[in-house]
Amino acid sequence: MAACIVSLVAFSVMLVHFGIRAADLAGNQGEQPVKALQLSMAPRRLRDHTKLAVELLIAVAMILDAAMLWHAYRLSQVAGATHHAANIFRGGIVIAIWILYWQLGALLLKSVSVRTRMPLPVNRTEDFRRWREIWLDCNLKTLDAIRMMSAVALPWATAWMIYRRIWSTPAMIAVASGSLLILGVYIVYLRRVERRLKAAEKELKPVEMVKEFPRRPVAEGRFLAGGLLYFNRDNPSLLVRGPHGVGINLSHPSTYAWTAYFAGLLALITWMAR
């Protein structure tokens, strides 16, 4: 789970990095360089992209898991309880903490996607606006699907740990079949979202729209670690163009949030190891 979280963030940074490098290598191919762009003034608020049904499903799953954990705790405290009962409760707590932390990471990624600044080219403005809306919608649907899947898996895993010894064989087969069905729906949904994004990419060709933007200048400020890290409190961007690609602005509020998140992740891993 830790590797997945780190990979998601690293992959996002790599996309921006190679996008900048590709634009530098492609140039304008002898055409008149672009010198102007528009800036969308549409509000970028997470609540405008929050679906009540998704949040209710996640809340119900969490409440159900909390009820089962309370039941597991009661079983571990009765007279004559075995170490197995205590281990079940501790295991449920560990899984719940990891899933909750995963949910927090997905919310942070949603916030980054929604709040990212959206410049618009002077030419092909509507095409780019449409591409941006489709990209954002698919990205948010994917993150919400991951959140719902992890939320549903949480009470399922807790129930499996607590009750599998008393379930009959038909009950275990029914639970396993239901789990496979949910997993199948999850995979089909993600593939559908992916196909929609690929269809839009094939139609609108966002790679060609890059030529409609002015080339980013190297940001003014102090670069560290070979240009990977950047520091300038007056620059509102999280990712800026550096001398060799992309630079992460250490003075941006999002950098503090992600640093705290990864510090908490390391603390969780240390706690698990101990």
Name the residue among 1, 55, 13 with its Cα closest to residue 258.
13
Q: Which amino acid is at 114?
A: V
- Tens digits of pLDDT across the chain (274 residues): 667 767 777 777 777 777 767 666 655 555 556 666 677 777 778 888 889 999 999 999 999 999 999 988 888 888 877 888 888 888 889 889 988 888 888 888 888 888 777 777 777 888 888 888 898 999 999 999 999 999 999 998 888 888 888 888 888 888 889 889 999 999 999 999 999 999 998 988 887 777 777 677 777 878 877 777 888 887 777 777 777 777 888 887 888 888 888 888 888 888 888 7
Give Cα 83 distance to the centre of its chain.
37
8-state DSSP, 217: P
Please classify residue 124 by burial: count the beta carbons closer than 10 Å to its beta carbon, then call 0-12 exposed, 13-18 middle and 19+ buried. Answer: middle
Spans of all domains in the chain: 1-25+217-254, 50-215
- The neighbour count for residue 247, using CB atoms within 10 Å, is 30
Distance CA 221, CA 202 (A): 38
Q: Which residue has the tokens 């979202």?
A: 193
* Residue 248, helix vs strand vs coil: strand
- The neighbour count for residue 148, using CB atoms within 10 Å, is 19
Residue 245 pairs in a beta bridge with 242
Strands 245-249 and 229-231, how do they pair? parallel
49 contact partners, CB below 8 Å, separation of at least 6? 110, 114, 136, 140
Name the residue among 264, 268, 232, 266 with its Cα closest to residue 251.
232
Torsion of CA 223, 226, 227, 231, to 10 degrees: -30
118 contact partners, CB below 8 Å, separation of at least 6? 39, 40, 42, 44, 132
Q: Which residue has the tokens 């290598």?
A: 25
Q: What is the pLDDT of residue 34?
A: 62
Q: What is the pLDDT of residue 23?
A: 65
